[in-house]
């Protein structure tokens, strides 16, 4: 049975859309829409520092109550209901350590019927943590499964493909994905 590796934020859920809606409420003078966020991270587009962006994003990522407002991607839920039992699934997120547990709880709470394993690679790790598996590509090399990665990060997709593994870019305003969500899921059903 083949395995699908799902990115969590901005694939299974709407994290940056939720973050941006909250940020706009605090900054009503902004003229940008979510579709205008052509870079991730979007701090330069918004005229804020990278640190300010991370702090505001981490408020959501580390908050249990904020996770109640994260909605599952409805097309993925429908796809899993139709095709999910043909595959094994796990989630792989790039969250800092303090926000990984909330991602795991969210995934299992919304997708536990299909996704029963959640792992993370820490983009910002404590200095005393070992340096293994700092990228999704390195993690997938370690688990060495017949798996396809679904991710919104072009960097993650390129790193995985450069290692000879399949990967599909999930469309978001900040990437160059030209396929629709429906197209991505059709492609995935052929994996």
183 pLDDT band, cuts 50/70/90, is very high
- Residue 122's pLDDT is 92
Per-residue model confidence as pLDDT tens digits over 118-130: 999 998 888 898 8
Indicate the domain borders of the chain.
Answer: 3-14+70-189, 15-67
Per-residue model confidence as pLDDT tens digits over 161-177: 999 999 999 999 999 99
In angstroms, rounded to a whole number, what is the distance separating the alpha carbons of residues 147 and 160? Answer: 11
Structure token digits, residue 93? 């997120």
For residue 97, CA distances in Å to 11, 23, 81 come to 20, 23, 31
Nearest 5°: phi and psi at 39? Answer: -135, 145
| Contacts for 160-164: CB closer than 8 Å, 24+ residues apart | 160/136, 162/137, 163/137
- Residue 25's pLDDT is 94
The CATH number fitting domain 3-14+70-189, selected from 3.90.1860.10, 3.40.50.1000, 3.40.50.2300, 3.20.19.10: 3.40.50.1000
- Residue 64's pLDDT is 76
CA-based Rg of the chain, rounded to a whole angstrom? 16
Nearest 5°: phi and psi at 5? Answer: -105, 115
32 pLDDT band, cuts 50/70/90, is very high
Taking alpha carbons only, the member of 109, 154, 117, 107 closest to residue 12 is 107
CA angle 156, 163, 42 (to 5 degrees): 10
- Residue 65's pLDDT is 80
- Residue 66's pLDDT is 82
Per-residue model confidence as pLDDT tens digits over 147-164: 999 999 999 999 999 999
- Secondary structure class of 142 (helix, strand, coil): helix
Q: Are residues 48 and 39 in contact, defined by beta-carbon separation less than 8 angstroms?
A: no
In angstroms, rounded to a whole number, what is the distance separating the alpha carbons of residues 141 and 108? Answer: 24
84 pLDDT band, cuts 50/70/90, is very high
Taking alpha carbons only, the member of 106, 39, 122 closest to residue 72 is 106
């Amino acid at each position: 049975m083949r395995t699908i590796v799902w990115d969590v934020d901005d694939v299974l859920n709407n994290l940056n859309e939720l973050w941006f809606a909250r940020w706009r409420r605090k900054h009503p003078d902004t003229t940008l829409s979510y579709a205008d966020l052509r870079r991730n991270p979007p701090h330069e587009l918004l005229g804020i520092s990278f640190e300010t962006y991370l702090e505001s994003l981490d408020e959501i990522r580390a908050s249990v109550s904020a996770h109640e407002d994260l909605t599952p991607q409805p097309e993925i839920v429908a796809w899993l209901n139709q095709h999910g039992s043909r595959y094994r699934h796990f989630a792989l997120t790039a969250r800092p350590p303090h926000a990984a547990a909330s991602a795991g709880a969210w995934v299992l709470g919304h997708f536990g019927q299909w996704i029963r394993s959640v792992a993370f690679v820490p983009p910002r790790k404590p200095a005393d943590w070992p340096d293994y598996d700092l990228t999704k590509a390195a993690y997938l090399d370690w688990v060495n499964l017949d798996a396809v990665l679904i991710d919104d990060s072009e960097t993650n997709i390129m790193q995985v493909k450069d290692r000879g593994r399949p990967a599909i870019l999930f469309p978001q305003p900040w990437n160059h994905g030209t396929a629709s969500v429906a197209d991505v899921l059709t492609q995935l059903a052929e994996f």
